[in-house]
Chain A
Amino acid sequence: MTANAWLQIGLYLAVLLLTVKPLGTYMAAVFSDAPNRVTRLGAPIERLLYRLCGVRADEDMSWKRYAVAMLVFNVLGLLAVYLLQRVQQWLPLNPQHFDAVSADSAMNTAISFATNTNWQGYGGESTMSYLTQMLGLAVQNFLSAATGIAVLIALIRGFVRKTTQGIGNFWVDMTRSTLYVLLPLSLVLALVLVAQGVPQNFKPYETVPLVQATTATETVKDADGNAQKDAAGKDVTKESQVTEQSLPLGPAASQIAIKQLGTNGGGYYNANSAHPYENPTPLSNFLEVLSILLLPAALCYTFGAMVGDRRQGWALLATMFVIFVPLLIGCALAEQAGNPALTGLNLDQNATVLQAGGNMEGKETRFGIVNSAIWATATTAASNGSVNATHDSFTPLGGLVPMWLIQLGEVIFGGVGSGLYGMLAFAVVAVFIAGLMVGRTPEYLGKKIEAYEMKMASLVVLIPCALVVVGTAIAVLAPAGVAGIANPGIHGFSEVLYALSSASNNNGSAFGGLSANTPFWNVLLGICMFLARFPLAIGMLAIAGSLAAKKHVPQSAGTLPTHTPLFVVLLASTVIVIGALTFLPALALGPIAEQLVAIGH
């Protein structure tokens, strides 16, 4: 890699680290039980909102009530998105006159956005009306992220509180996440993005002439929608002259800002952040990719601040970095090395001052290799799932990195809130094993970890793993599943494995070749996304409730310290070992085999 590549990686990590403390401190104030400068600022709006909605802000919910509120709220949001898509043709703000979205696709998309996955079976600029994008998708971008933060905050309260039933008020946590954290950050980011060239308007698509006319080639379809074949069995095609380009506009910046900040990732345009309108410049790219990890990283600090020991937060962040940085570098090296299959051609894949070189298939010129690698690892470490290059066309090893990061359970940063609470489930497992090894019933942050917590943490770790391997098995057995595979051979298996990993961990990115907008895939992935989100959140809330009811064990020399480098190593090993042991066989049949075959031939 070039010196500039290292510089860009270093700059990214440094700026990310610099934001952790201020933003983390701010969020700790937002969710603090005691009134403070921050919450006083928005108090009038909050009060008005609560009064209008009949919410008593001081009601302390038990974990069960908290979970019910969370679930009801999210299911209602899910239904709203579904309905919007199904009736968009009759609603305003649909300048392109898009039809209703099909039932299975609408269901898939509704679940996808409500679960913070933002898997997209559809192409945004050719499917969704402005109204659907704004009132349905963008709103869920906010609310699903806010839900994740709320569940995390409730869990933190479980650690902090002693012998009590209550873990906070879901409505308040959710409202505050939206009002104090997501909205202001989005507003700022959206405006900067507009300045860089992201559209923000309510105009219909703009038509411009092409400098040089081009030819469109379309397959001719019969009445049933099937491609007509000629005598030789080839598709019959029809050619036509194209002289114009239709530029897709709309309220893009406002939605892109939140999809990055809320680890949603659902693109306004089909090509997501590879699209020059969605991500026009290197600066916009830097800010967008920074936004992916911004909140998940800062929430670690918030966690430390709220439990009264900042070192605990730094330790969790360090664990994430320990896994993230080597994988990022690995991905960048693999991509910069170029595609081994193309080495025989008269092709220049080397990095020089005049070009980025490397494996440029599916990548944008302005981002080159290193920015594509940073994005690919960040977006899959966090459960963002937006892309600025097509992962499907990454080299086998380069593509292995994002896939494996997803399979680690979306805990290396992970989703806003959900990543950290997932990481805490791993911490519970790690602390348990470590506790045994020092001869004490394990405790974490002064709370004893017993059979009940173990059961819930195990469920939280187990469910995504199970969904991935079982879902993949179903997909490769079902003809309808195999039908969606675009690339032949080993890579086809990787596409399926990636799709299931992505859905079952609420990431949302894809090996995009897979044609997943079919009833089979929409239903299968819809189920995976739903099960990967809500049972996990409820499991963590159950842990929160159980912890809150416990006494606080004071620290002693016999207590295992959970802020040391040793614990960081242990926690990272736990995450890696579970991820590696579960998925190694599947990965061996996918990217590992593909890489070995590619360099072998």
Chain B
Amino acid sequence: MLKIIRQALLILLFLTVLTGVAYPLAVTGLAQILFPSQANGSLIEHDGKALGSSLIGQPFADPKYFWSRPSATTPFANNSTSSTGSNLGPTNSALTDAVKQRIDALHAADPGNDAPTPVDLVTASGSGLDPEISPAAAQYQLARVARVRGRTQADVAKLVAEATEGRQFGILGEPRVNVLRLNLLLDGKL
């Protein structure tokens, strides 16, 4: 028994060194050499200043910006140190209420728009940090942003297209629009 315990301790120790130290260090070393930008958070940098991460969504509530998907993080939306979804059950009335509120908020910002709201724009994302919205959700907001900013819709549509990504390899995932990138483009910061 003692022999087994000793063997177990030693094996645990050596495998810990192997998998807990050598392995992550090796991955870090290789990653920093091969993919330095991605390995350090995919930051959007302009003039040496980090403006955000292209992967981490930010909250927007101003009509002049495209809005991100709702975020259920606390104590504020898109809190990147506390990622979470809403975890509201499908039949929970709180969910229905929240969706109604969001639809109303979108209406308040853009009273004339009676089109059905794209579902992703009024439902909270799984991470609370979703950096993207569907092209439909961008389309839905396009007229509002153009109007508030006093720009033509075609002008804004061009920027939307610039921030849009199709399916990877034409198959994987869904087409999507990066909201932070799009808003930075609108602000002329990129």
Q: Report if A and B touch in the complex (beta carbons < 8 A).
A: yes
Complex-state Cα separation, A336 to B29, whole angstroms: 42
A residues less than 8 Å from B38 (CB atoms): 194-199
Task: List residues of B (121-153) whose CB comes within 8 Å of A's CBs.
Answer: 122-137, 139
The minimal Cβ–Cβ distance linking A210 to chain B, given in whole angstroms, is 5
Q: Which residue of B lies closest to A96 (CB)?
A: B81
Are A395 and B10 interface neighbours, CB within 8 A?
no
A352 CB within 8 Å of chain B: yes
Complex-state Cα separation, A195 to B35, whole angstroms: 6
A60 CB within 8 Å of chain B: no
A residues less than 8 Å from B114 (CB atoms): 346
Are B125 and A363 interface neighbours, CB within 8 A?
yes
Are A512 and B173 interface neighbours, CB within 8 A?
no
Q: Which of A201-209, A227-235, A500-508 contacts B (4 or more CB under 8 A)?
A: A201-209
Which of B74, B124, B131, B174 contacts A362, CB < 8 Å?
A: B124
Are B21 and A134 interface neighbours, CB within 8 A?
yes
Which of B19, B69, B89 contacts A392, CB < 8 Å?
A: B89
Which of B10, B56, B79 contacts A52, CB < 8 Å?
A: B10
Are A390 and B27 interface neighbours, CB within 8 A?
no
B residues less than 8 Å from A486 (CB atoms): 87-89
Q: Do A139 and B95 form a contact, CB below 8 Å, given A210-B59, A365-B120, A491-B89? A: no
Q: Do A214 and B59 form a contact, CB below 8 Å, given A125-B81, A360-B119, A365-B125? A: yes
A residues less than 8 Å from B95 (CB atoms): 339, 341-342, 361, 393
Which of A182, A211, A358 is packed against the most chain B CB atoms within 10 Å?
A211
A138 CB within 8 Å of chain B: yes
B residues less than 8 Å from A249 (CB atoms): 40-41
Are A364 and B87 interface neighbours, CB within 8 A?
no
A275 CB within 8 Å of chain B: yes
A366 CB within 8 Å of chain B: yes
Complex-state Cα separation, A76 to B16, whole angstroms: 12
Which of A138, A253, A390 contacts B85, CB < 8 Å?
A: A390
Q: Do A347 and B61 form a contact, CB below 8 Å, given A249-B41, A341-B91, A362-B87? A: no
Are A4 and B28 interface neighbours, CB within 8 A?
no
A248 CB within 8 Å of chain B: yes
A interface footprint on B46-64 (CB within 8 Å = 1, 0 otherwise): 0000111111111111100
The minimal Cβ–Cβ distance linking B158 to chain A, given in whole angstroms, is 17
Task: List residues of A (353-371) whose CB comes within 8 Å of B's CBs.
Answer: 353-368, 371
The minimal Cβ–Cβ distance linking A541 to chain B, given in whole angstroms, is 15
Complex-state Cα separation, A123 to B74, whole angstroms: 13
Are A271 and B28 interface neighbours, CB within 8 A?
no
Which of B35, B83, B90 is packed against the most chain A CB atoms within 10 Å?
B90
Are B87 and A513 interface neighbours, CB within 8 A?
yes
Task: List residues of A (196-248) whose CB comes within 8 Å of B's CBs.
Answer: 196-203, 205-206, 208-212, 214-218, 242, 245-248
B interface footprint on A272-289 (CB within 8 Å = 1, 0 otherwise): 001111001111011000
Q: Which residue of B lies closest to A55 (CB)?
A: B7
Task: List residues of B (1-55) whose CB comes within 8 Å of A's CBs.
Answer: 1, 3-12, 14-16, 18-21, 23-24, 26-28, 30-32, 34-35, 38-43, 50-55
Q: Which residue of A lies closest to B67 (CB)?
A: A212
Q: Do A354 and B89 form a contact, CB below 8 Å, given A76-B12, A175-B11, A211-B187? A: no
Are B128 and A271 interface neighbours, CB within 8 A?
yes
A490 CB within 8 Å of chain B: yes
A584 CB within 8 Å of chain B: no
B residues less than 8 Å from A196 (CB atoms): 38
Complex-state Cα separation, A202 to B171, whole angstroms: 34
Complex-state Cα separation, A91 to B91, whole angstroms: 45
B residues less than 8 Å from A7 (CB atoms): 171
Are B20 and A362 interface neighbours, CB within 8 A?
no
Q: Which residue of A lies closest to B85 (CB)?
A: A390
Q: Which residue of A lies closest to B133 (CB)?
A: A365
Q: Which of A16-24, A65-73, A158-166, A525-533 contacts B (4 or more CB under 8 A)?
A: A65-73
Q: Which residue of B lies closest to A398 (CB)?
A: B90
Q: Do A211 and B116 form a contact, CB below 8 Å, given A134-B24, A285-B172, A362-B124? A: no
Are B85 and A271 interface neighbours, CB within 8 A?
yes
Q: Which of A100-108, A184-192, A412-420, A560-568 contacts B (4 or more CB under 8 A)?
A: A184-192
Task: List residues of B (144-181) whose CB comes within 8 Å of A's CBs.
Answer: 167-169, 171-176, 180
B interface footprint on A482-508 (CB within 8 Å = 1, 0 otherwise): 000011111110110000000000000
A451 CB within 8 Å of chain B: no
Which of B8, B77, B136 contacts A352, CB < 8 Å?
A: B136
B residues less than 8 Å from A319 (CB atoms): none
A142 CB within 8 Å of chain B: yes
A residues less than 8 Å from B91 (CB atoms): 341, 396, 489-491, 594, 597-598
A residues less than 8 Å from B50 (CB atoms): 206, 208
Which of A217, A246, A348 is packed against the most chain B CB atoms within 10 Å?
A348
Q: Which residue of A lies closest to B62 (CB)?
A: A212
Which of A52, A53, A200, A372 contacts B28, CB < 8 Å?
A: A200
Q: Do A347 and B30 form a contact, CB below 8 Å, given A125-B83, A171-B11, A342-B96? A: no
Q: A residues engaging B (CB < 8 A)?
A: 4, 7-8, 11, 49, 52-55, 65, 68-69, 72-73, 76-77, 80, 123, 125-126, 134-136, 138-139, 142-143, 171, 174-175, 178-179, 182-183, 186-187, 190-191, 194-203, 205-206, 208-212, 214-218, 242, 245-249, 251, 253-255, 257-258, 269-271, 274-277, 280-283, 285-286, 338-342, 345-349, 352-368, 371-372, 387-390, 392-396, 399, 486-492, 494-495, 511-513, 594, 597-598
28 A-B pairs whose Cβ atoms sit less than 8 Å apart in the complex: A73-B11, A125-B82, A134-B24, A138-B24, A175-B11, A195-B38, A197-B42, A200-B24, A200-B27, A205-B81, A214-B76, A218-B75, A245-B58, A247-B56, A282-B168, A341-B96, A342-B99, A348-B119, A359-B119, A359-B123, A361-B95, A361-B123, A364-B126, A390-B85, A399-B90, A491-B90, A512-B87, A598-B91
Q: In the complex, given contacts A190-B27, A214-B61, what are 6 additional A-B residue pairs having Cβ atoms less than 8 angstroms apart?
A: A211-B60, A211-B180, A271-B85, A276-B130, A361-B88, A365-B125
Among all A-B residue pairs, the 3 with the closest Cβ atoms: A282-B173, A274-B126, A491-B89
